[in-house]
């Protein structure tokens, strides 16, 4: 089990918020295969506080299976708090504060991972959000801004402040901000944080691309839970694998080609209901590329799916290869 404030999950893992991916369709499949909690995509705090923009950008939590969290990105404590209030008001169950995003345009605006260099601002943002909402509030970090001694000290200060404030959970991705997604995630840093701050609920993240890998990382690091991010794209079975491992049932049989095809069709159908036909096809491509990784003739199947320009062509390609 994993306790996040007043919410208790029956398993110590959940699906990460992923910009451009974690919509109602992906989250629905993640829940179907065993994720006890999902997150909607990342939202910019200053957009959330404007009603017209919020209505356009933010899906209603009713389009997800509850509980569902929302993650916000920003650098101004008052704006972050106001956005958290709006998200709680419309029904999101958890608010996650993103201090980890490594995207250059985000860093240039002083948001996301840039704030790993500003422990005092991270503390101020958390305190203002915590004072304004009743739901659990968690924070997302990286293993420092870069590999410097100063960055390590800043990480420790942020975690010490989180420990003092009894933050509901701290998720740490095992790469620095400047590393982005290159090199291997450093799980030793994540494990050290848990040892130094045993009261702190620590969630580990990074390179968890299979159920077995995530299970092993959980056990080796001593963390309270693991966050499944890229490993869940086009692979909802990762949650089924993890649940089986945590329940002591061992490894499970991999989905057959036909089973994979059925889920792809279900996923595309859900996407098609929420988007115009042309946009649904383009949007599904990034999921299709990941789904194809399990196929024995990956390149051929992927080529047909990438070439599809109409809904019927997508369906025909899935039926042909699956």
56 and 142 share one domain: yes
pLDDT of 56 above 90: no
Residue 91's contacts (CB-CB under 8 Å, 6 or more residues apart) are 60, 61, 62
Pick the closest to residue 227 from 185, 264, 165 (CA basis).
Answer: 185
Is there a domain that residue 252 lies in?
no
CATH number at residue 277: 1.10.1200
Q: Is the dihedral of CA 63, 90, 76, 190 positive or negative?
A: negative
22 and 126 share one domain: yes
Statement: the pTM of the whole predicted model exceeds 0.85: yes
H helices present in 101-205, as ranges:
104-108, 119-132, 149-164, 187-196
Is there a domain that residue 9 lies in?
yes
**Domain end (from 227, 246, 265):** 246
Average pLDDT over residues 265-278: 91
Average pLDDT over residues 88-116: 96
What is the distance between the alpha carbons of residues 93 and 68, in angstroms, rounded to a whole number? 6
Pick the closest to residue 7 from 240, 289, 201 (CA basis).
Answer: 201
242 and 272 share one domain: no
Average pLDDT over residues 159-182: 96
185 and 304 share one domain: no
17 and 116 share one domain: yes
Is there a domain that residue 157 lies in?
yes
> Residue 280's domain spans which residues?
257-321
Strands, DSSP E only, in the chain?
2-4, 7-9, 13-15, 38-44, 68-73, 94-98, 137-142, 169-173, 202-205, 225-228
Q: Is the dihedral of CA 271, 273, 275, 279 positive or negative?
A: positive
Per-residue confidence band for 109, with pLDDT thresholds at 50, 70 and 90: very high
Q: Which DSSP letter does residue 34 get?
A: T
Residue range 127-155, pLDDT digits in tens: 999 999 999 999 999 999 999 999 999 99
139 and 221 share one domain: yes
In the chain, the percentage of residues whose pLDDT exceeds 90 is 89
**Domain end (from 246, 276, 303):** 246
242 and 282 share one domain: no
91 and 229 share one domain: yes
Two tokens, residue 214? 């995530």
89 and 207 share one domain: yes
Catalytic residue status for 101: yes
Is there a domain that residue 313 lies in?
yes
CATH number at residue 107: 3.20.20.70
Say what the pLDDT of residue 275 is.
Answer: 87
Pick the closest to residue 291 from 219, 217, 237 (CA basis).
Answer: 237
Which residue do the tokens 């089924």 mark? 240
Residue range 185-200, pLDDT digits in tens: 999 999 999 999 999 9
Is there a domain that residue 264 lies in?
yes
Say what the pLDDT of residue 52 is.
Answer: 76
Backbone phi, psi, residue 204, to 5° = -95, 145
Q: Which of 101, 135, 159, 292 is catalytic?
A: 101
Two tokens, residue 199? 């009261």
Looking at every residue in the chain, the average pLDDT score rounds to: 94
8 Å CB contact between 130 and 138 = no
Q: Nearest-5° angle of CA 10, CA 18, CA 285?
A: 115
pLDDT of 58 above 70: no
13 and 104 share one domain: yes
278 and 306 share one domain: yes
Per-residue confidence band for 60, with pLDDT thresholds at 50, 70 and 90: low
Q: Which DSSP letter does residue 254 get?
A: P
What is the distance between the alpha carbons of residues 195 and 291, in angstroms, rounded to a whole number? 37
Q: Is 80 helix (H, G, I), strand (E, B) or coil?
A: helix
Helix (H) or strand (E) holding 41: strand 38-44
pLDDT of 274 above 90: no
Say what the pLDDT of residue 63 is.
Answer: 67
Number of domains in the chain: 2
Backbone phi, psi, residue 96, to 5° = -110, 135
Average pLDDT over residues 103-109: 95
Residue 253's contacts (CB-CB under 8 Å, 6 or more residues apart) are none
232 and 289 share one domain: no
What is the distance between the alpha carbons of residues 200 and 4, in angstroms, rounded to a whole number? 11
Is there a domain that residue 251 lies in?
no
């Amino acid at each position: 089990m994993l306790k996040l404030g007043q919410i208790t999950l029956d398993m110590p893992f959940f699906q990460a918020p992923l910009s451009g991916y974690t919509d109602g369709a992906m989250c629905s499949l993640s829940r179907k295969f065993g994720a006890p909690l999902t997150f909607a995509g990342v939202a910019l705090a200053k957009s959330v506080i404007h009603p017209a923009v919020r209505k356009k950008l933010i899906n209603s939590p009713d389009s997800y299976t509850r509980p569902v969290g929302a993650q916000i990105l920003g650098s101004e404590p008052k704006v972050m708090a106001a956005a958290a209030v709006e998200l709680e008001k419309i029904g999101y169950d958890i608010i996650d504060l993103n201090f980890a995003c490594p995207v250059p345009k985000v860093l240039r605006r002083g948001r996301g991972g840039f704030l790993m260099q500003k422990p005092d601002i991270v503390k101020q943002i958390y305190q203002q959000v915590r004072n304004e909402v009743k739901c659990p509030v968690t924070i997302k970090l990286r293993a420092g801004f870069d590999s410097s001694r100063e960055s390590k000290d800043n990480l420790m200060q942020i975690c010490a402040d989180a420990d003092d404030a009894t933050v509901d959970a701290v998720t740490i991705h095992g790469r620095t901000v400047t590393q982005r997604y290159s090199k291997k995630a450093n799980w030793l840093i994540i494990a050290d944080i848990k040892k130094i701050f045993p009261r702190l609920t620590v969630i580990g993240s990074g390179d968890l691309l299979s159920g077995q890998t995530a299970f092993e990382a959980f056990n080796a690091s001593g963390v309270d839970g693991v966050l499944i991010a890229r490993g869940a794209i086009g692979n909802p079975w990762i949650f089924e694998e993890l649940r089986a491992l945590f329940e002591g049932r061992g490894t499970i049989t991999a989905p057959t080609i036909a089973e994979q095809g059925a889920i792809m069709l279900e996923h595309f159908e859900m996407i098609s209901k929420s988007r115009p036909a042309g946009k649904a096809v383009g949007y599904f491509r990034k999921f299709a590329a990941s789904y194809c990784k399990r196929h024995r003739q990956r390149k051929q199947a992927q080529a047909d799916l990438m070439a599809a320009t109409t809904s019927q062509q997508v369906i025909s390609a899935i039926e042909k290869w699956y």
